[in-house]
């Protein structure tokens, strides 16, 4: 008899991390210390945590760049420890790093995007299609004949994202992709990521230390010393302002203000992170 594992409307599991432990060769302590995490297909997950908490190490686990010492990482049913499956896994889970300059290989944008599909040995018509679609997905189609060094940081990072998209992954893992960008560049990259998630249903794992980015997630996990110490919707997480500070993280400014007004006895919920909502609450306060 057929068994329905998922209810209609519920997202399917894409990546499953179970009892994951990891340490680098020369380290005494576990850098990842018992991580359990399910990432659903189409989910927008944000990972936050202060420096050294293990975020980048976890990111590299998700596409098999690193493999667990103990425990498992499953991508769409395949274990990253299964070396026969590793190329398939790396194609399904694309990685974007902090510095776009380290990720661009060619002298012309479109050649850069074509690099991955060419290595897959695809036909030139298919490569062309993928290059155009990928550039369009990050709103960079008009720059396809530009030299990357003539682009802004945000534009370069969007080209780096397009290069990964050309491999047609199911999931994008972005490790602080906005850390080196100015506010305009940051917004353009976040807009592109949002469009990939909401428009194309792509699964996103986004690591950031900008809380204004974290509030855009479906779910946030907070890491500390190789463990997941908090997990929930942005509202769940930022309603715990004291705890967030305990983990050396910032609270969105709007939330901080709402929290302080609440502490002063105003009838304002302490977990507001939307400026319009706070203004609205203040205007109608009796």
Ligand X SMILES: Nc1ncnc2c1ncn2[C@@H]1O[C@H](COP(=O)(O)OP(=O)(O)O)[C@@H](O)[C@H]1O
Per CB under 6 A, residues contacting ligand X are 24, 26-27, 31, 49, 51-57
Closer residue to ligand X in complex, CB, 191/225: 225
For residues 31 and 161, which CB has a smaller minimum distance to ligand X in the complex?
A: 31
Cβ closest to ligand X, residue 6 vs residue 24: 24
Which DSSP string do the residues of 194-247 spell out, in sequence order? HIIIIIH--EEEEE-S-HHHHTTSSEEEEEETTEEEEEE-HHHHHT-HHHHHHT
Q: Which does 125 bind (CB under 5 to 8 A by kind): ligand X, Mg ion, none?
A: none
134 near Mg ion, judged by CB under 5 A: no
**What is the number of the residue whose Cβ is closest to Mg ion?**
56
Output the smallest distance, CB 49 to ligand X, in A. Answer: 5
Q: Give which of Mg ion, ligand X, none residue 31 binds (C-beta under 5 to 8 Å, depending on kind).
A: ligand X
56/188 with CB nearer Mg ion = 56
Give the shortest CB-201-to-ligand X separation in angstroms: 27
Q: Which stretch binds Mg ion (CB under 5 A): 56-64, 68-76, 198-206, 232-240?
A: 56-64
In angstroms, what is the minimal distance from the CB of 56 to ligand X? 3
* CA 272 – CA 242 distance, rounded (Å): 15
Between helix 124-137 and helix 109-119 the angle, nearest 10°, is 130
Work out which of 31, 43, 44, 56 binds Mg ion, going by CB under 5 A: 56
Judge whether 26 and 51 are in contact, CB under 8 Å.
Answer: no
Question: What is the closest distance, in whole angstroms, from the C-beta atom of residue 124 to ligand X in the complex?
Answer: 39
The answer to whether 95 touches 41, Cβ cutoff 8 Å, is no
Q: Residue 261 CB, nearest distance to ligand X (Å)?
A: 32
Which CA distances in Å does 79 have to 16, 38, 40, 71?
9, 14, 16, 10
Which of ligand X, Mg ion, none lies near 53, with the C-beta cut-off 5 to 8 A by kind?
A: ligand X
Whichever of 27 and 119 has its CB closer to ligand X, that residue is 27
Which segment (49-57, 131-139, 219-227, 250-258) binds Mg ion by CB under 5 A?
A: 49-57
Which one, 53 or 80, has the nearer CB to ligand X? 53
Contact residues for Mg ion, defined by CB under 5 A: 55-56
């Amino acid at each position: 008899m057929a068994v329905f594992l998922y209810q209609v409307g519920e997202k399917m599991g894409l990546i499953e991390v179970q009892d994951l432990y990891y340490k680098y060769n020369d380290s005494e302590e576990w850098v990842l210390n018992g991580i359990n995490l399910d990432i659903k297909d189409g989910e927008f997950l944000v990972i936050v945590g202060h420096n050294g908490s293990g975020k980048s190490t976890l990111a590299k686990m998700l596409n098999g760049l690193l493999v667990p010492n103990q425990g498992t990482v499953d991508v769409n049913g395949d274990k990253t420890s299964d070396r026969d499956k590793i190329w398939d896994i790396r194609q399904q889970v694309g990685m974007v790093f902090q510095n776009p300059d380290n990720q661009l290989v060619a002298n012309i944008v479109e050649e850069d995007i074509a690099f991955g599909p060419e290595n897959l040995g695809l036909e030139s018509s298919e490569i062309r299609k993928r290059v155009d679609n990928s550039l369009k997905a990050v709103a960079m189609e008009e720059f396809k004949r530009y030299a990357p060094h003539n682009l802004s940081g945000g534009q370069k990072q969007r080209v780096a994202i397009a290069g990964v998209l050309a491999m047609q992954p199911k999931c994008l893992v972005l490790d602080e992709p906005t850390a080196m960008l100015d506010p305009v560049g940051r917004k353009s990259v976040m807009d592109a990521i949002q469009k990939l998630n909401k428009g194309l249903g792509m699964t996103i794992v986004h690591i950031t230390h900008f809380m204004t980015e974290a509030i855009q997630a479906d779910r946030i996990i907070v890491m500390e010393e190789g463990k997941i110490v908090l997990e929930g919707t942005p509202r769940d997480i930022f309603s715990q302002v004291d705890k967030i500070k305990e983990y050396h993280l910032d609270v969105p400014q709007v939330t901080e203000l709402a929290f302080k007004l609440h502490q002063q006895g105003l009838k304002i919920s302490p977990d507001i992170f939307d400026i319009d909502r706070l203004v609205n609450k203040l205007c109608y306060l009796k």
